[in-house]
């Protein structure tokens, strides 16, 4: 999940290459929702090797309320820090 500096928006997506996808969001290379709302901070992620599990999990989370998504982020990242802050030089 990606958010903006004010933490007012949560973007949920799925990728087979998290490093590349976060880089694209941080550098506004896709011209999508994350660009419009400046979602540059990775605050939550899950890993799986099963594509079908990933698709179902993404759909599940996207259907959740904001309150439930916030709870999920808080379990992994209670300070909502950018988990990808130091990933790139």
The per-residue pLDDT string of the chain (89 residues; one tens digit each, 9 = 90 and over) reads: 999 999 999 999 999 999 999 999 999 998 788 899 999 999 999 999 999 999 999 999 999 999 999 999 999 999 999 999 999 97
Say if residues 26 and 40 touch (Cβ distance below 8 Å): yes
CA 80 to CA 44: how far, in whole Å?
A: 8
- Nearest CA to 43 among 17, 25, 63, 59? 25
Assigned token pair, 6: 């004010």
Q: Domain boundaries in the chain?
A: 2-76
């Amino acid at each position: 999940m990606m958010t903006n500096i004010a933490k007012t928006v949560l973007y949920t997506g799925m990728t087979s290459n998290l490093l590349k996808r976060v880089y694209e969001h941080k550098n506004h290379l896709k011209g999508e929702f994350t660009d419009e709302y400046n979602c540059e901070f990775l605050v939550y992620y899950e890993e799986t090797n099963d594509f079908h599990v990933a698709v179902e999990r993404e759909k599940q989370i996207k259907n959740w309320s904001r309150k439930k998504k916030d709870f999920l982020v808080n379990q992994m990242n209670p300070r909502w820090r950018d988990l990808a802050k130091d990933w790139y030089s």
